[in-house]
Amino acid sequence: MNVAVLGCWHVHAKDYARSAAAHPDTTLVAAWDHDPELGRPLAEEFGIEYTDDLDALLARGDVHAVTITTETTAHTEVIGKALAAGKHVFTEKLLAPTVAECEQLVAQAREAGLALVVSLPRLYHGYTLAVTELLAAGSLGPLTYARVRLSHDGAVHGRTTGTSGGWLPDRFFDPVPSVGGALTDLGCHPVYLTQLFLGQTPQTVRAVYGSITPRAVEDHAVVTVGYDDGRIGVVEAGFVSNDAFTIDVHGTEGSVHYTQDGSRLWRRYPDGKVEDLAVPADAPDAFAQWVQHAAAGTTATENLERAVELTRLVVRANEAAGEKK
């Protein structure tokens, strides 16, 4: 399956290009971006053709599939064009800025018999599989609370120089193409994990967004979700602190915890006993699943359902923060 990169706006453009170059069943052949300063360097690095003509690239019969890493606001148009041209699509989150646009793209892919998969990588990591299995067994009793935190220092520190200013590109802080800040970008991962653990449709969504740096979007955020049965979820995301990714899920009969520090997973019992748990191997990642769906002619039903509900909750959080209610 020959794969082209569509858009080099997002920092994961090269990651998915590497996936296409490395997977035994895909070949990376071309890259497009309307901005040559973004598209040409990627094409040169991978030794592939660069073009600024999207329609011409999509018209090529030797391009079977595309990865989408444009700005979020361009997703609906670019993904729609790719599907209309008969190309399988692997896309960075969010699938689209609104739920209606997400549902439109999912329906278009299904009607065309094309594989559409959204990159929701932490759903398939070993620690997530272990936590989900524990919850499915009912080992923690009725769930009461979950907290997922993910942050990095991309708004304040240079990755190589150590100076302030941040390693995230300035375009990530433009509210128009990015459709938001830390919550809409990095916060997607804690959002879909919280939805996995507690449920996709909370009754209430409240949000507090803050800006430590003088940017036009929030650089850190906390979102709380409440459910009809009393469960509470807390989503934390930020661009201003480099600390470990953590998961905490509590029930009436104990809790389970994960920290990226040392990749440690453990369970706490009601009597205070702590038991370390093994972290299983990761499941096939979203890219590999996409290639499999494209080859088999199947639909990534669960992935797409979670992608739509992710957008729904992110939109609700952004509205709650903006309206302060």
The 10s digit of each residue's pLDDT in 152-198 is 999 998 754 444 578 999 999 998 898 999 999 999 999 999 999 99
Tokens in use for 287? 């890219």
Q: Average of pLDDT values for 216-223?
A: 96
* pLDDT at 54 > cutoff 70: yes
Instruction: Tell me the whole-structure pTM to 2 decimals.
Output: 0.96
Asked if the model's pLDDT at residue 320 lies above 70, the reply is yes
Lowest mean pLDDT among 90-99, 106-115, 169-178, 289-298: 169-178
Q: 112-160 pLDDT, tens per residue? A: 999 999 999 999 999 999 999 999 999 999 999 999 999 999 999 875 4
Collect all residues with Cβ–Cβ distance below 8 Å to 64 and sequence separation of at least 6. Answer: 1, 2, 3, 87, 88, 294
What is the percentage of the chain residues whose pLDDT exceeds 90? Answer: 93
Contact by Cβ (8 Å): 61, 1: no
φ and ψ of 90, to 5 deg:
-115, 125
pLDDT of residue 159: 57
Cα(124)–Cα(304) distance, rounded to whole angstroms?
14
Per-residue pLDDT, 325: 76
d(CA 60, CA 114): 17
Q: Map out the domains of the chain as residue ranges.
A: 2-120, 126-281
For residue 151, how many C-alpha atoms fall within 13 Å in the half-sphere facing its CB?
21
Instruction: Share the mean pLDDT of the chain.
Output: 96
Cβ atoms within 10 Å of 123's Cβ, excluding its own: 19
Which of 104, 110, 99, 30 is closest to 67 using CA atoms?
30
Q: Which residue has 């375009």 as its token pair?
A: 171
d(CA 123, CA 274): 25
User: Domain spanning 2-120: which CATH class is it, in words?
Assistant: alpha beta
Q: What is the domain class of 126-281 according to CATH? A: alpha beta
Q: How buried is 113 (Cβ within 10 angstroms: 0-12 exposed, 13-18 middle, 19+ buried)?
A: exposed
